[in-house]
Amino acid sequence: MNKPIGRLFAAALLMFGALLVSTSWWTVVRADRLDHDTANHRGVLRALKIRRGLIRADDGTVIARSTRDAEGVYHRSYPTGALFGHPVGYSYAGIGQTELERERNDELTGRTNAITTTVDQLLGHKAEGDDVRTTLDPKAQRIALDEIAQAGRSGAAVALDPRTGAVKVMASTPTYDPNVIKDSKALAAANRDESRKPLVNRALQFGYAPGSTFKVVTSTAAIDTGRFTPQSQVDGKNGVKISGVPLANDFGRSFGTIDLKTALAQSVNTVFAQVGEQLGKATMKRYMERFGFDSKPQLDYPADSMSASVVAPDPPRHAVPPTSKYVDVGRMSIGQGGLEATPLQMAQVAAAVANGGRLMKPHLTDKVVDRDGRTVKTVGAQLQSTVMKPSTAAAVTDMMIAVVQSGTGTKAQIPGTQVAGKTGTAETEFGDKINNVWFIGFAPAENPRIAVAVTVAGVTGFGGDFAAPIARDIMEELLR
């Protein structure tokens, strides 16, 4: 090859390389920013020409699909309607994506491999996304949505496999049908519904006072530090002063001196408030952080669509560290005092105990499959934190079994299966008789396969009456 031809070849090669880099930069590296810019009409038009990948439930049920019309434009639809509105979200050109549709946008639009994407575009291949298989269970999800809606005004449920962190149920009511949110007018109408707030995912975005379910965290800290055992004796009389103010037990009952295991089964407020005071703010903070409090969940979900579980006392009416001077550690230790927890967080509390003290990262994605049916990505079990010693988890499990066998959680019992759990009832600003109620638990207690948290808002009653039966039905379905 003579020198002029060689130089020409080198120049052509450099130009092609520059084109490849430039195209990759704008179509892949900066594509997400461009596609979310409402002024970028080309991005909207390009999105309409992409066969966005399917999203499926764990049994293969299609949750989201794209179909092509006569003009070659793809339209997103959701065959399961409102069933998975909150965990999966929606994707429409012009208004963008939310939830899992947004978190897995690169995979769903085939943009995970910059070189493959660019070469396909240069060769004129049709843009196709990969499919996403989720961990979600349709039957258990339906049970959760229906039963929460029947029980109260609103609420949420989360069920996890404690061994892997796979999210089997993420239900929030009121829910919404993503097929309806097709344009800015429909989105604005849903956002104006202040009374129902259907677009809010209460499983991740809303903090409820966890009430007595938080006593599982306090029990863990008490036993894991060696300061207490399940047999430790504590004064359970009514009206014990906590931070100088008398604290009441449910129905004003006095229990006298009582052991920690019985106190959890009977949900004795004064016992666990005193335990929390003796442990102190620093110890409670340490264990809360191990469970995931005070930080956003490590979930494959948009970070700005999730809330941290925090303590926000009055004053100052905003989140503060658990060691703050504003925190009443005794009342925080029984799930009061401004403590706010999401249902996902409380499901993780149950899951950590169920998994021998090892908390796994939660995840909604099982795997990603390309256009040829090949698995290109698998989301497996990942350790989030070691919360407690295995011996502590065994002791707390035994205490939670007693709650369901003979305590406040008997309505969570499943024939032939041992269940461990804890109820919770938190008063609301609507009056003493209107409560937000909870149940957290796992089953089978001896070899846990599912951990669950259920909360129902605005009911007249207790967690054992409303939330426990829902949790039972979710667990029973997932154990089939």
What is 127-191 written as a DSSP string?
A: PBPPEEEE---HHHHHHHHHHHHHHSSEEEEEEE-TTT-BEEEEEEES---TTT--SHHHHHHHH
- The answer to whether position 59 is within a domain reads yes
In this structure, what CATH number is given to the domain that contains residue 217? 3.40.710.10
- Domain match, 127 and 217 both: no
Q: What is the pLDDT of residue 126?
A: 59
- Domain match, 225 and 335 both: yes
Where do we find the tokens 């846990």? 448
* 279 confidence band (pLDDT: 50, 70, 90): very high
DSSP E strand boundaries for 381-478: 383-386, 420-428, 431-443, 450-459
Average pLDDT, the chain: 92
Q: What is the pLDDT of residue 427?
A: 84
* 346 confidence band (pLDDT: 50, 70, 90): very high
Domain count, the chain: 2
Per DSSP, the chain holds a count of helices (H) and strands (E) of 17, 21
* 434 confidence band (pLDDT: 50, 70, 90): confident
In this structure, what CATH number is given to the domain that contains residue 97? 3.90.1310.10
Q: How far apart are CA 2 and CA 456, in angstroms?
A: 80
Q: How far apart are CA 285 and CA 145, in angstroms?
A: 33
- Calculate the dihedral angle through the C-alpha atoms of 423, 427, 433, 439, rounding to the nearest 10 degrees: -20
- Tell me the residue range of the domain where 73 lies: 47-134
Q: What is the pLDDT of residue 171?
A: 99
User: Which segment of 105-119, 128-142, 269-283, 323-337 scores lowest on mean pLDDT?
Assistant: 105-119
Q: What is the pLDDT of residue 94?
A: 84
- The answer to whether position 270 is within a domain reads yes
- Domain match, 99 and 209 both: no
Q: Is 447 exposed, middle or buried (0-12, 13-18, 19+ CB in 10 A)?
A: exposed
Residue 119 has pLDDT above 80, yes or no: no
Q: What is the pLDDT of residue 111?
A: 84
Average pLDDT over residues 465-477: 98
Q: What is the pLDDT of residue 339?
A: 98
Give the pLDDT confidence of 369-388 residue by residue, as tens digits: 998 999 999 999 999 999 99
- Domain match, 209 and 129 both: no
Give the pLDDT confidence of 185-227 residue by residue, as tens digits: 989 999 999 889 999 999 999 999 999 999 999 999 999 999 9
- The answer to whether position 178 is within a domain reads no
Residue 24 has pLDDT above 80, yes or no: no
- The answer to whether position 191 is within a domain reads no
Give the pLDDT confidence of 389-433 residue by residue, as tens digits: 999 999 999 999 999 999 999 999 999 999 999 999 998 876 667
- Domain match, 209 and 292 both: yes
- Domain match, 130 and 209 both: no
- The answer to whether position 88 is within a domain reads yes
Last residue of a domain, one of 85, 115, 134: 134
Where do we find the tokens 């409102």? 82
Where do we find the tokens 């949505």? 145
- The answer to whether position 265 is within a domain reads yes
- The answer to whether position 261 is within a domain reads yes
Q: What is the pLDDT of residue 40?
A: 47
- The answer to whether position 312 is within a domain reads yes
